[in-house]
Amino acid sequence: MKKLTIILIFLLMFSFVISGCGDKSSQTSEPAPSQTSEPAPVDQSPKPGGTLKLFVSSVSNIGFPSTMGAMSDGWVSSVALETLFRFDLQGNVVPLLAKDWKADYEAKTITIMLNKGKGIKFHDGTDFNAEAVKWNLDTYRSSQKPELKKVTSVDVVDDYTVRLNLSSFDNSIITYLTGNAGRMISPTAFENNGQEWVEQNPVGTGPFQFVSWTKDVNVKFKRFDEYWGGKPYLDGVEWVFYKDQLVAQMDILAGNLDAMAVPDPENMKEIETTGKFNTVFTNDTLQPVLMPDTKNTNSPFAKLEVRQALSYAIDQETLAESIGMGYFRPQNQLAQPGTWGYNPNVAGYPYNPEKAKELLASAGYPNGFDTTLTYFAYNKTVTDSVTALQQMLKQVGINAVQNPVTRANYIELGNKGWDGLLRVHLPSSPDPLVTLANFSAGQQYVSMYVPDEFVQKFDKAVNEVTFEGKQKAVQELMSVVDKYAIWSFLPEERTITAKSKRVQDDWYGEMPNRYINPMVWLSE
C-alpha cells in the first residue's frame, strides 16, 4: 500500500510537472501548434486606441464638397464627411447615411429615405435630417459641378425623406451620391462660419471629428464618441503629407506610417520583400488610354483602321509585366473583370504588329506617319511606360514624338483640344457610366470623336430603372467602345496600397473612394 501511495504521488507530481511545462494547447485535445517562422496569429478581437497614419500628397479643400477638386480632397475628408451612399467591396452601391432609395422612371424622381432611427448628428451637435440633405444637395447643384445637373429640385417629403426631381431620368445619380455630390456637411456650420472656414474645417457626421490641418504637414481627426454607427475603436486618424515618395516609403518601412499608395511597382516590390505589409488593390483604379484626335478630319486617327492599328500595336502583356511588374493588368474595356459591367464578349485588340501594319496600309499609310504623344508625366512609371510605348508604335510605323506636360497643361488640353495622341488616365468608377458621362456630353476630351451609337447606348443605359437592364446596357456600351476603337487601352494601373499588418478591418485601399471602415482597429 505504501509502495502504491509513493507511486501514485510520484505519478501525480510527474503529471504536474508535465502540465506545468506544457503550453495551453497541450492541455486540450487539440494538436500542439507547429514551430514555424510565421508571426504569432493576431488576436482577432478588436482593441481600442491608437492613431491610424495614412499617406497623402496634397489637399486643398477638405470641408466643402462643392469646391473640392483633387480626388485626395474627398479621401481625406471622408473620415469626417460621410456620403448618402457608398460602394461595397464588389463595387455595388449600398446605403450609408441613406437607408434606401426608390426610382420612379415615369415621374422622373428618385426618393431617398434616410437612416432616421439612429439619431444621426453632425459633429457640431445639429441634427442630420431631410432639411440638411436638401441644403447639401441644393448647395452642390448651385455650383458648376456636373453630377447633379439633371436634378431640377429637391423636395423634403418628411423629416427623413427627400425626393429628387429630375429633368430626365438618370440612374447614375445614386452612384454620384457615393462621391462628393453626396457628401454631407453641417448647414449650421456653413451658415455660422462661411465657405472659407468650412473648406478648412470639415463638420460632418463621420466616425472621426476634425482636429487640425497644418498645411503640408498633416490633417488630424479624433474619434467622434457620438458616432451613430457605434463608438470607433481608434483614437484618431492622421493624414501625413509627403512631397517625396521615397521619404514616405522609408517612413512606412520604419513603422511611422500605416498605409500608403505606392505608384511605382518597383518600390512596391521592395516593400513587399520585408514581409511586414499587406498589398491591396482597389477597383476604382486609374485606367490609362491613348485618346486620338479623331475630330480633326486631317488626323490619320480619324480613320477606323488607323485606330484599330494603334490598338493592335500595343503589347499590353509586356507593358503590364515589365513596367507594372505584374501589378498592372491588360484591359480591353472600362469595366473590370469580376464587376457587373464587364462584358466577356469584348475581344479587344490583342497584340498583333503585322495586322497593325496591314491596317495602316489599307488606310493609306503603308509607310506609317508622324504624330505627337502628349502625356502628363506625373511619375516614373508613366515616363517609362510612354518610352516603351513609343518603341512599340515605331515598330508598326507610327513615329510618335513624346510631349510631356504639366498637370495644368494636361487638363487644359483635355478641355480645349490636342493634336495626335493624348495619354489620358481615366478616373475609373465601379459604375462605368460615371466615367463615360463626360464623353457622352462632349464636355471633356473635346478632340475625340464620339460616335452617335455611343451616345444612344449611353442614354439608354442611364435610363434603365432595373439593375439588370442597366447591366445589359452598360455591357453593350463596352462593345461600342471596342467596335469603334474610340481609344486604345493601356494596361490598367491598379492603385497598389501597402498596408501595415497591424491595421485590421479597415478596407482602406480596397474600397472605392478610399473609404475607411469606421470600425477599423490596430492590433498593436
Which C-beta is closer to other proteins: that of 181 or that of 363? 181
Closest by Cα among 61, 6, 285 to 185? 61
For residue 185, the 8-state DSSP code is -
Specify the residue for cell string 427623413: 160
Pairwise CA distance, residues 116 & 136, whole Å: 17
394 binds other proteins (CB under 8 A): no
58 binds other proteins (CB under 8 A): yes
243 binds other proteins (CB under 8 A): yes
CB of 240 to other proteins, least distance (A): 8
256 binds other proteins (CB under 8 A): yes
Pairwise CA distance, residues 289 & 492, whole Å: 9
Q: Of 1-9, 32-40, 143-151, 480-488, which part binds other proteins (CB under 8 A)? A: 143-151
199 binds other proteins (CB under 8 A): yes
Work out which of 46, 47, 146, 348 binds other proteins, going by CB under 8 A.
146
346 binds other proteins (CB under 8 A): no
How many CB atoms sit inside 10 A of residue 468's CB?
Answer: 10
Are 98 and 347 contacting, i.e. CB atoms less than 8 angstroms apart?
A: no
Locate all alpha helices (DSSP H) within 119-183, ordered by sequence.
Answer: 130-142, 172-176
CB of 463 to other proteins, least distance (A): 22
283 binds other proteins (CB under 8 A): no
Q: Of 133-141, 203-211, 401-409, 470-478, which part binds other proteins (CB under 8 A)? A: 401-409
First to last CA, the chain: 56
Which C-beta is closer to other proteins: that of 238 or that of 492? 238
Which C-beta is closer to other proteins: that of 29 or that of 214? 214
Are 52 and 234 contacting, i.e. CB atoms less than 8 angstroms apart?
A: yes
Bridge partners (DSSP) of residue 290 are 423, 488
Query: What is the size of the binding site for other proteins (CB under 8 A)?
Result: 43
Work out which of 13, 17, 18, 250 binds other proteins, going by CB under 8 A.
250
82 binds other proteins (CB under 8 A): no
Work out which of 27, 28, 34, 144 binds other proteins, going by CB under 8 A.
144
273 binds other proteins (CB under 8 A): no
Closest by Cα among 85, 61, 83, 82 to 73? 61
Work out which of 100, 131, 412, 459 binds other proteins, going by CB under 8 A.
412
Taking the alpha carbons of 94, 98, 100, 103 in that order, is the dihedral positive or negative?
negative
Work out which of 17, 32, 42, 246 binds other proteins, going by CB under 8 A.
246
61 binds other proteins (CB under 8 A): yes
CB of 176 to other proteins, least distance (A): 11
443 binds other proteins (CB under 8 A): yes
Q: Of 15-23, 220-228, 236-244, 287-295, which part binds other proteins (CB under 8 A)? A: 236-244
Are 478 and 343 contacting, i.e. CB atoms less than 8 angstroms apart?
A: yes
Which C-beta is closer to other proteins: that of 199 or that of 305? 199
Which C-beta is closer to other proteins: that of 74 or that of 397? 74
For residue 183, the 8-state DSSP code is B
- Cα–Cα distances (Å) from 69 to 72, 273, 388, in that order, read 8, 36, 31
Query: What x-and-dash track marks residues 175-194 binding other proteins by CB under 8 A?
Result: --------------------
405 binds other proteins (CB under 8 A): yes
Torsion angle of C-alpha atoms 172, 188, 99, 337, degrees rounded to 10: 40
Which C-beta is closer to other proteins: that of 176 or that of 228? 176
- b/e per residue 257-277 (b: at least 16 CB within 10 A): bbbbbbbbbebbeebbeeebb
- Those residues with Cβ within 8 angstroms of residue 475's Cβ, 6 or more apart along the chain or in another chain: 335, 341, 342, 343, 345
Pairwise CA distance, residues 259 & 275, whole Å: 14
CB of 428 to other proteins, least distance (A): 12
Closest by Cα among 18, 79, 74, 23 to 53? 79
Q: Of 66-74, 131-139, 361-369, 515-523, which part binds other proteins (CB under 8 A)? A: 66-74
Q: Dihedrals φ, ψ of 459, to 5°?
A: -60, -40
Q: Of 54-62, 95-103, 126-134, 464-472, which part binds other proteins (CB under 8 A)? A: 54-62
Where along the sequence are the contacts to other proteins (CB under 8 A)?
58, 60-61, 67, 69-71, 143-146, 196, 199-200, 214-217, 241-244, 246-247, 250-251, 253-254, 256, 405-412, 414-415, 427, 438, 443-444
